[in-house]
Structure 1
Amino acid sequence: MPELPEVETVRRGLAPVMEAARLVAVEQRRADLRFPFPTGFSERLTGKRVTGLGRRAKYLLFDLEDDTVLIAHLGMSGSFRIETPADGDGVPGDFHRARSRDPRHDHVVLELEREDGPARVVYNDPRRFGFMAIGERATLAAHPFFAGLGPEPNGNAFDAFHLAGRMAGRNAPLKAALLDQRIVAGLGNIYVCEALWRARLSPRRKAGSLVRRDGRPTPRLVDLTACVRLVIDEAIAAGGSTLRDHMRADGTLGYFQHSFAVYDRAGEPCRRAGCRDTVRRIVQAGRSTFYCPTCQR
């Protein structure tokens, strides 16, 4: 599933094309994706101008001029394809698994009217785990998708004291706690594995073991918080470093996946200097976890 840095990269890639553009036509090619489309989906969007593109956790937010918001989630295999007469087409975002260009899986087509000419943005999703909804900007924080979400991992509200308050007394594995969207929003499997490796913490460790008896964070929890921020920021920067080329035919944007320390590297040497162990794979709550048993305690 695309994670926060990938979704942020998609947002940055779509923004130059979609912001200030008018949706002159919206083609909905099926009744549902993961969930049914809202009633009157195409009619409610057609004719509206896009005033801004945002993101909350792994959700893309398309603000419209009537204060409604198109909410989009990419699910497992979803992607947006940008098509312009001058530049051909491109898929903004660098994903660990390749995105589809098969037109049989083009489910939503947005026809745009812009000052510099027309464009199309196409939502493609072979597995149809993604979804779209429409909300109101004034009440968006209370929407079922967003109510109860924790702070963004690169936002001001995310720090070691926040984590300590949510992890105190918890016997759940550290990795499970970090994947809990009520604790921190948008963190996914890949970047939790990478942050734990950087912080030298075992994914099996009890989350509460990083909190002092008085409820304050231990130095290791402070370090983990910094590692989470750093991994997310580096991944976004890698995806965003070539955003000027977001319409390139091959759709390649970022290169962070080529520097994974542990994720998807089971059996390969640990990349920490001086470590002679290999990366292991275990399964936690049905998800693959990659870590170094020597470095991470």
Structure 2
Amino acid sequence: MPESSKIFTYVVEGLSYTVTVYEENGEFYADIAVNEGAMDVNAVYFGDDDFSGSSESLGGPLNMNGARLDGEKVQWDEATELSRPGLGPEGETKETYLQAGDTMTVALDIEDLDEIDVFGIRATSTTTGAGSIKAVSSDPEEPEEPEDPVYGKVFFGEVFSETGEPLGGTYILDEEPDPNPYSVPALPEGTEPTFENYLSYYLSDEMGGNLAAVEGVVFYGPGEDGSQEELFRIAAPEGGFADADALLAAYDDALSGTEDLSGQDLIAALSLDDYAMPEPETAEEMGADEFDLV
């Protein structure tokens, strides 16, 4: 995963693309992704927001002469040729010809993302009216960190009935109820109730959870009436979960296909009516024989 990144966008009639500039393992790259239309990316230009000093330029058809940002001439710090104009015998299979859905990665000779505040692309064979662009993008977006879904409680189940009803295992609540007559475990105060934190607490010395015995994990969140109800569950593979990483991988797989969602929207997308089984909201309403405490 990228350690940090900036996102530049460019949209004109007939063409739109996104450039994600990022650092990965100490190296820097730009992913150029076409969202609509097509273009032959012949050169990339970039620089910081200080437009003083001389500007880098590529000669002939790869120049960015006349490119401006908010009416101001751009001073480029770096310019890199990627290909010569014209699709030639390769046609649409040319490596630098990108159509909607295509992405090309370009290595960048920089030492810090702060060196790039403006990103330019010189492209020909475009689906724009002019057939070529001298595109300038600035004010990069700072990508938002995805919001991890949170849960009201998680059940690490060791025994289930034939119908899937949780019988034996460990419930962990997001917050300890008051009173708590059955001493139901809860996350330490102030802990965000993400699954990774539930799992870490389950495996802690304080809880002493036995992952090898877990047959399945059940996730709960507030239902329409406010009480905790099952959202979805993960069944252990044959032989059980090898370790915490294996369980987290299974959890990530359960979330796959919902990467554009977060928080309650993601939880709603994962809700499975087939497994819905409302649980009591408070510890007083839980029967002591409903679970084994550890």
Instruction: Give your verdict on TM over 0.5.
Output: no
Hey, which of these two has a bigger chunk of strand by percent? 2
What's the TM-score bracket when you normalise by the shorter of the two chains?
Answer: under 0.3
Hey, which of these two has a bigger chunk of helix by percent? 1
The structure with the larger Rg is 2
TM-score between both structures, scaled by the size of structure 1: 0.21
TM-score between both structures, scaled by the size of structure 2: 0.21
Highest RCO, 1 vs 2 (Cα 8 Å, sep ≥ 6): 1
